[in-house]
Amino acid sequence: MARILLLILSRTYRTHDFIEAASRLDIEVVVGSEHRPALAGLMQDRHLRLDFHDAGGSTARIVDFARQHPLNAVVAVDDGGTVLAASASAALGLPHNPVEAVHAARDKAMMRESFQAAGLATPHFTIIGSDEDPALVAGSLRYPSVVKPLDLSGSQGVIKVDDAASFPSVFKRVAAIVAACRPNGDRPALLVEDFIPGEEVAVEALLGDRELEVLAIFDKPDPLNGPFFEETIYVTPSRLDAATQSRIIDTTSRAAAALGLRDGPIHAELRLNADGVWMLEVAARSIGGLCSRTLRFGSGISLEELILRHAARLPLPPHQREGRAAGVMMLPIPTAGRLHAVEGQAEAKQVPGIDGLVITIPPNETLTPLPEGDRYLGFMFARGETPAAVEAELRQAHARLRIVVDA
């Protein structure tokens, strides 16, 4: 039986789906996480407590564990575990991405530099230290721009700024968000880059021997023009023409190669406009949240099953994506406050085509919208004959939900 170490952050949504996939494949799972109590009942003794901020020390712990319990693969579920997964895999002689490539995929400045060096269209950027006076540099920047953290994900702390007069307040707001996300209150430098208008798409793919296998291209039909960049609807297959999709795939492949990524899942974000295909980001992990539930391959194979099969070098059965269109809505948090209830769920589920609704924030918990927040209210899923039908189903169902918030 294959044994895989899953690196799982305590706040991830994805534990259940990966554990379920491993069970279907008869793979033994060992969970590596920061906190034992939350997973102890689920995994019993198959747990390894790790510090994701200490890749060296945690790699040593994994290597020591593997001496008695050999591992076939180390898989990171989310961004926070990708560097450790690469480091541990290298130490164990397992297929992996180079550690420096994963670092580049997590650091937006390094990523931009790699894309530029490879001749890819990517936003012009500059790095501004948190100790600099934003009023002094505002006049030297190009507008509209986007201010963002170097290493956060999910659009947290990402804000568009339209002019020099607005820049100092936006810069200070993003710096405060970043500092609040760090245990020691560090205020690292921020990235300021050109805002690229246009349609945005996402690509889900697997890398093997540096070859890119695209599993899905998602359209994002809601415009992402700021000031914040809260993603809502993903729909696949893409409605873009075949030539444009081919350019998207080529650009994604070149971007992964530019970073040095060579093995495992990737999730990429690109924008399209009259100037071409712009490479925004490539992450060395699969799609976040519960969005992977939109994807079914072959005879009902999940994305998590494909990832685990690939990581453990188990046979990959035919896995073309299902023929029907599918989509997900990441339910936005409308306002700050304490969640009282999400009403209308039964009515939303009655919309034809809706095939799942999961509210991930329980009642009485505090809601924090983007850009300060890092969570969605939940996820709603739909399937239909066409992408347009799926999009309409999600919008219709969402209109039936009523978010009740106590101030």
Domain boundary among 162, 194, 226: 194
236 assigned to some structural domain: no
Domain boundary among 194, 210, 226: 194
pLDDT band at 182 (very low <50, low <70, confident <90, very high): confident
Q: What is the pLDDT of residues 32-68, one digit of tens each?
A: 998 754 444 445 568 999 999 899 999 999 999 999 9
Lowest mean pLDDT among 183-197, 257-271, 328-342, 377-391: 183-197
147 CB-near residues (< 8 Å, 6+ apart):
158, 159, 160, 161, 167, 170, 171, 174, 190, 191, 192
Q: What is the pLDDT of residues 166-178, one digit of tens each?
A: 999 999 999 999 9
387 assigned to some structural domain: yes
Question: What is the pLDDT, as a whole number, of residue 374?
Answer: 87
- Domain tally, the chain: 3
Domain boundary among 80, 97, 114: 97
Residues 14 and 75 reside in one and the same domain: yes
CA distance 111 to 267: 14
Q: Is the dihedral of CA 4, 45, 10, 341 positive or negative?
A: positive
Give the E-state strand segments of 179-289 in sequence order.
Answer: 190-194, 199-208, 211-220, 233-236, 264-273, 276-283
Residues 336 and 390 reside in one and the same domain: yes
254 assigned to some structural domain: no
372 assigned to some structural domain: yes
Question: What is the pLDDT, as a whole number, of residue 1?
Answer: 87
345 assigned to some structural domain: yes
Answer whether 0.85 is exceeded by the pTM: yes
Residues 345 and 402 reside in one and the same domain: yes
Question: What is the pLDDT, as a whole number, of residue 36?
Answer: 57
pLDDT band at 237 (very low <50, low <70, confident <90, very high): very high
What percent of the chain shows pLDDT beyond 70?
96
* Domain range for 32: 3-97
